[in-house]
Amino acid sequence: MRRVTSRSRAVSRVALVSDQMASKRPRADETQSGYPEVMHPKPRGEGLPGLTRSRNEADHAVITPESRVWCGLPGWDPRCSGAYLASPQMNGALFTMCLVKMPNGACAGPALPGVERFILVVEGGITAALSEMSFRLSAVKSGGDDVVGEYIYLPPDKASTWSIKAEGATTILMFEQVYRPSPHRIDDKPSVELGFIDDKPTLDPGAPEVFTLRKLLPLEERFDFNIHVMDFEPGQFLHCNEMHYNQHGMLMLEGQGIYRLGQGDGRWYHLRAGDAVYMAPYCPQWYAALEPGRTRYVLYKDTYRDPLLTGSTGAGYKHNAKYQAGIF
């Protein structure tokens, strides 16, 4: 396989990758290397075996780093191991969220038929390739001229055919779900998307909200989910205690704060970089950021599908196979 040596060459080979992704802009912090606290959280101080802040409730789950359980992933290089942080075994979840450790040179397995895949490089780097076409993605912002992003989305036909190979010791965050075409635009297919988070435009979060919002996928009906990146300065918080039909998978990449989840008075969690949360449909959710630094979290949210078609409790892959067969 030929490797691409410059961003412009890579982009000229693939019309589906937009100009926006291809343009090289100065990065906010060229020296920062990924999100180191996800895999190397600050020392906790307690050191007591078995002590955890993790919790699995009917409408949400919190999984903190000491509770991650690593397992082999079917179809992947056996040296890779994954920790599922959300999956259809949780109430209502239609998607999986998995942290995957990949040693140098290890290859990902193909996605299941009909499954779309989103990857964010947390540490290290990967090459995403199909025959002569190849893209380098890196968690290091200044990873080289031919690095075209830190995340990639592969639609179902690509998620099972593109190779994903680790360059150096790598950790990725991966979201997967069975793609559900819109019954209104059945021929409108999602495209490969990749880029750097900080190159995406900031969006209005809607008054009175003040957090900084980016969405990594196009806001178009051919996509059935989006990945939001939300930044809060210390002291900023969600004004709305949200309740909505959408479900979330969240990984905190930087910072710390208080998440309030669940019914009534809810449960209050001290969360920090490395902590993951699953929020089921209609789980009340509220966040406030603590000092000293910015909170950044990455958040899966299902979008653009009529809730009548995506009713999700306990459904998972089996339910959504209907969409593959065109049964609405």
When CB distances are held under 5 to 8 angstroms depending on the partner's kind, the choice from ligand UGY, Mn ion, none that residue 230 binds is ligand UGY
Alpha helices (runs of H) in the chain, residue ranges in sequence order:
7-13, 19-22, 156-159, 307-310, 316-324
Question: Could you tell me the sign of the dihedral formed by the alpha carbons of 5, 9, 14, 20, in that order?
Answer: positive
73 touching ligand UGY, by CB under 6 A: no
Quote the least distance from Cβ 256 to ligand UGY, whole Å.
15
209 touching Mn ion, by CB under 5 A: no
242 touching Mn ion, by CB under 5 A: yes
299 touching ligand UGY, by CB under 6 A: yes
Residue spans of beta strands (DSSP E) within 183-307:
193-195, 212-215, 225-232, 248-254, 256-261, 267-272, 276-279, 285-289, 295-302
**Residue with CB nearest Mn ion?**
242
**Residue with CB nearest ligand UGY?**
285
Q: Which of 91, 138, 285, 295 binds ligand UGY (CB under 6 A)?
A: 285
Q: How far apart are the first and last CA of the chain?
A: 41
CB-neighbour burial class of residue 25 (10 A; exposed 0-12, middle 13-18, buried 19+): exposed
Q: Determine the Cα angle at 52 with ends 46 and 57, to 5°.
A: 155
252 touching ligand UGY, by CB under 6 A: no
Quote the least distance from Cβ 287 to Mn ion, whole Å.
9
Residue 182 CB contacts under 8 Å (≥ 6 apart), including other chains: 188, 221, 222, 224, 304, 305
Residue 52 or 303 with smaller CB distance to Mn ion: 303
Residues 221-250 that bind ligand UGY (CB under 6 A): 228, 230, 242, 248
Residue 211 or 323 with smaller CB distance to Mn ion: 211
Which parts of this chain interact with Mn ion (CB under 5 A)? 242
Which parts of this chain interact with ligand UGY (CB under 6 A)? 228, 230, 242, 248, 285, 299, 301
